[in-house]
DNA sequence: TTGTATGCGTTATCAT
DNA sequence: ATGATAACGCATACAA
């Protein structure tokens, strides 16, 4: 099946390429019957504009790039879902790339997208990301750019975030309200802003309740995996047999903790209350059901794309765009794993 | 930051565009020093070929399209992960689109990818997909095309699948070996080949063991969701109080069943043994841990891309390509939910 | 209302 | 070894 071009249609109709082009784009300066003839023939021949040529002419690809740490992740896959759909509604396609939590890969992916000349880039940083060069490059090249969730405060671009400090504070306050006296925090890696903020929220809540902060009660994830949760659970019980509350940086790790405790007959919440972060789907089907913080992943995706879209539109029109930061609300979801005064325990 | 073109480099060096182009592509007929001068300047200026122009000239975009029912799905996100990485290794980027299990959307997504002129398409069909036109269109246009997991037998293209019949047969045989006499099958929707095959496997296993097949013991999913599992569990217990085994078409549904049983004090596996399909991550952290069939999602992604790559290469060279079907092995994963003679029950 | 001419940036053919 | 020229398919300023 040969590709149909404007030229073919023009030749077949005995008119110029220009007129065909104008007719198809519904320009006002084409006579009604010419327009109709062109449209009819184009339809007959299943004409499709050659997007490569259109890209070259218009200098836009109607494609955006999305870089996330990994697809197989409840939170990120939800964001992806939202971004893809929202982009499509607005005529954009999405190229997805993973950094696998590696800075080197993240840099490579940024480079690939720049070379690809996507119209805009949305990114959630990897845990290793402590170097700005590749991000600055995006700014320098004047490519519309949005960061979400795992952001870099120092880069001037639009951002979509939550108040991690406040959310973590609420989680800890909830544990304290449920009679937890010795609360361990399994924190995220040292670099990411959100794991820093959750850690600060933990400290602030202790302080507010006059509970002395103890660095020995803080464990730091490297891989942020289920297995790490299992391993930390074991270690924590060994180090602090009297621990009565655990706040994990994310549900996946909390699930590891729960799994170890279940397998070793340590009662949750009876002996130790547990709360996670992010509200992964599985949290609601575990035994006991895991308390957590709900993060509006879908909304985050939608807002991220729309911020990018706004910037892409300004970019096209040559209008200056002022980056904005959108902060979305979180909700604490109290289930079974954190309620000490629950009669069933 | 202005875009650097071949022309700029040529002008700055006082040579022709042609020579610059050749030098950068390491053609043999350029003098060593000219070549070096060009390469140096290009590097200095951060020259990047304009991919739009390259696409137009070469008629390929080094981009493939991937259509799946939904991203937020343990199996599919694993396949996506593999395809993205494998594609990148081979110099391809991936545009991802979701059909949301809707035939209409699936058709639209295929159309979008064709218009985008991707170099190839990988698809896993939606549950509604019973119409071939859009798939035939891909074949007609001679676009390299691979289907995986949820395929259409009637379309002649490369496929990557598992033996759903055999896997389901094994699951049922396992239940029977564990003293299940009255086994319910919660099957998938009527269209998809894999839900048909799992259903056939169920029937064959019963037959082999001289257990009469009873249509009343078959429940058919529409949405294939957690909630549907919950609802069916309730209905099943009401319809058949003496049910002692359940085989669900996929883990998500099995988890719904488990959740209902847990909440209503119906013992698994004591009263009812349960087995799922696909080995979702959460299955191993539930109480009781869910038995299931492991599907090689990662391998499936890799094989799918490589089949596509092979076809794309043939396509480029003008060599005819003969579609192949790759069948991957599955494993039955026996955990707690299906072992009736387990001493702890 | 229609058409001519030009350029987007690259690649490839064919002279020189 | 180097370069002039055309072509990929489309969009648009400008001329007729």
Residue range A13-47, pLDDT digits in tens: 999 999 999 999 999 889 999 999 999 999 999 99
All residues of chain A having their beta carbon less than 8 Å from the beta carbon of residue B71 are 71, 77, 80-81, 84
Cβ contacts below 8 Å, chain A against chain B, sum to: 118
Q: DSSP character for A7?
A: H
CA of B6, C1' of C15: distance in angstroms: 22
Whether A259 contacts chain B with CB within 8 A: yes
CA-wise closest residue to B99 among B135, B64, B130, B123? B123
CA-wise closest residue to B224 among B197, B190, B193? B190
Query: Encoding tokens for residue A57?
Result: 């002419």
CA of B55, C1' of C9: distance in angstroms: 10
> What is the predicted pLDDT for the residue at B130?
83
CA-wise closest residue to A301 among A55, A156, A90? A90
CA of B88, C1' of C6: distance in angstroms: 38
Query: Encoding tokens for residue B172?
Result: 């049922």
Report d(CA B67, CA B83) in Å as an integer.
12
CB nearest to B80's CB, from A52, A56, A71:
A71
Query: Looking at the predicted structure, is the pLDDT value of residue A344 above 60?
Result: no
CA of B94, C1' of D4: distance in angstroms: 39
**A52, B50: Cβ pair inside 8 Å?**
no
Query: Encoding tokens for residue A198?
Result: 């959750």
CA-wise closest residue to B110 among B68, B161, B154? B68
Please give the nucleotide, over all strands, whose C1' is closest to the CA of residue A52: D9
Report d(CA A233, CA B117) in Å as an integer.
51
Q: What average pLDDT does the structure give for chain A?
A: 95
Report d(CA A293, CA A153) in Å as an integer.
23
End-to-end CA distance of chain A: 70
A218-220: strand order across its sheet: A218-220, A183-187, A245-248, A273-275
Q: What average pLDDT does the structure give for chain B?
A: 96
CA of B241, C1' of C1: distance in angstroms: 80
Query: Looking at the predicted structure, is the pLDDT value of residue A303 above 90?
Result: yes
- Which phi and psi angles does A275 have, rounded to 5°? -135, 140
Q: Are B121 and B144 in contact, with CB atoms under 8 Å apart?
A: yes
* Secondary structure of residue B155 in the 3-state scheme: coil
pLDDT in tens, A241-298: 999 999 999 999 999 999 999 999 999 999 999 999 999 999 999 999 999 999 999 9
Whether B98 contacts chain A with CB within 8 A: yes
Residues 6+ apart with CB under 8 A from B68: B76, B79, B80, B96, B97, B98, B99, B123, B124
Beta bridge partners of A122: A66, A146
CB nearest to B55's CB, from A55, A81, A94:
A55
Beta bridge partners of B67: B97, B123
Whether B259 contacts chain A with CB within 8 A: yes
CA of A146, C1' of C3: distance in angstroms: 44
Q: How many residues does chain A have?
A: 345
> What is the predicted pLDDT for the residue at B345?
40
- Which phi and psi angles does B273 have, rounded to 5°? -85, 145
Q: How many CB atoms lie within 10 A of CB A60?
A: 17
Residue A111 C-beta-side C-alpha neighbours within 13 Å: 12
Whether omega for the bond prior to residue A269 falls within 30 degrees of 0, making it cis, is yes
CA-based nearest distance A128→chain B, Å: 19
Query: Looking at the predicted structure, is the pLDDT value of residue A191 above 70?
Result: yes
pTM given for the model = 0.96
Closest residue in B to A143 (Cα–Cα): B1
pLDDT in tens, B117-159: 999 999 999 999 788 999 999 999 999 999 999 999 999 999 9
Whether B81 contacts chain A with CB within 8 A: yes
CB nearest to A56's CB, from B56, B81, B287:
B56
Query: Looking at the predicted structure, is the pLDDT value of residue A99 above 90?
Result: yes
Query: Encoding tokens for residue B312?
Result: 């794309």
Please give the nucleotide, over all strands, whose C1' is closest to the CA of residue A3: D9
Residues 6+ apart with CB under 8 A from A112: A65, A97, B88, B93
Phi/psi zone of residue A118: left (φ > 0), alpha (ψ -120 to 50 degrees), beta?
A: beta
Whether B140 contacts chain A with CB within 8 A: yes
Residues 6+ apart with CB under 8 A from B254: B186, B229, B246, B248, B274, B275, B276, B277, B283, B290, B292, B337
**What confidence tier does A1 reach under pLDDT thresholds 50, 70, 90?**
low
CB nearest to A78's CB, from B1, B50, B72:
B72
Phi/psi zone of residue B270: left (φ > 0), alpha (ψ -120 to 50 degrees), beta?
A: alpha
Rounded average pLDDT over A130-142:
93
Whether A81 contacts chain B with CB within 8 A: yes
Q: How many CB atoms lie within 10 A of CB A120?
A: 24
> What is the predicted pLDDT for the residue at A343?
42
Closest residue in A to B66 (Cα–Cα): A95
All residues of chain B having their beta carbon less than 8 Å from the beta carbon of residue A61 are 52
pLDDT in tens, chain B (345 residues): 578 999 999 999 999 999 999 999 998 889 999 999 999 999 999 999 999 999 999 999 999 999 999 999 999 999 999 999 999 999 999 999 999 999 999 999 999 999 999 999 999 999 997 889 999 999 999 999 999 999 999 999 999 999 999 999 999 999 999 999 999 999 999 999 999 999 999 999 999 999 999 999 999 999 999 999 999 999 999 999 999 999 999 999 999 999 999 999 999 999 999 999 999 999 999 999 999 999 999 999 999 999 999 999 999 988 999 999 999 999 999 999 999 864 444
Report d(CA A76, CA A81) in Å as an integer.
8
Phi/psi zone of residue B84: left (φ > 0), alpha (ψ -120 to 50 degrees), beta?
A: alpha
CA-wise closest residue to B165 among B293, B45, B305? B293
Write out which nucleotides of chain D lie closer than 7 A to a protein Cβ. Answer: 1-5, 7-13
**B96, A97: Cβ pair inside 8 Å?**
no
């Amino acid at each position: 099946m040969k590709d149909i071009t404007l030229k073919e249609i023009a030749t077949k109709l005995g008119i110029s390429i220009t007129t065909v082009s104008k007719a198809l784009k519904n320009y006002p300066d084409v006579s009604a019957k010419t327009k109709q003839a062109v449209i009819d023939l184009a339809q007959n021949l299943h004409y499709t504009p050659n997007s490569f040529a259109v890209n070259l002419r218009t200098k836009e690809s109607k494609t955006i790039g999305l870089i996330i740490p990994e697809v197989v992740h409840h939170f990120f896959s939800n964001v992806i879902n939202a971004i893809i759909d929202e982009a499509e509604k607005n005529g954009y396609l999405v190229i997805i790339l993973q950094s696998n939590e590696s800075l080197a890969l993240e840099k490579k992916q940024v480079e690939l997208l720049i070379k690809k000349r996507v119209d805009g880039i949305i990114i959630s940083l990897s845990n290793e990301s402590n170097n700005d060069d590749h991000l600055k490059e995006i700014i320098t090249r004047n490519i519309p750019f949005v960061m979400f969730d795992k952001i870099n405060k120092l880069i001037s671009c639009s951002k979509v975030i939550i108040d991690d400090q406040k959310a973590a504070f609420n989680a800890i306050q909830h544990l304290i309200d449920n009679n937890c006296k010795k609360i361990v925090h399994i924190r995220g890696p040292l670099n990411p802003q959100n794991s820093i903020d959750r850690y600060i929220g933990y400290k602030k809540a202790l302080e507010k309740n006059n509970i002395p902060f103890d660095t020995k009660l803080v464990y730091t994830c490297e891989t942020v995996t289920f297995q790490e949760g299992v391993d930390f659970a074991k270690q924590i019980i060994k180090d602090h047999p009297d621990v009565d509350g655990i706040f994990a940086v994310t549900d996946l790790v909390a699930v590891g903790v729960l799994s170890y405790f279940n397998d070793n007959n340590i009662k949750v919440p009876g002996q130790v209350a547990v709360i996670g972060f992010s509200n992964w789907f599985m949290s609601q089907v575990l035994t006991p059901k895991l308390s957590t913080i709900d993060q509006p992943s879908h909304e985050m995706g939608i807002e991220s794309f729309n911020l990018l879209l706004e910037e892409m539109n300004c970019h096209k029109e040559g209008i200056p765009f002022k980056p904005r930061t959108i902060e979305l609300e979180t909700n604490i979801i109290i289930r079974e794993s954190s309620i000490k005064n629950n009669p069933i325990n």
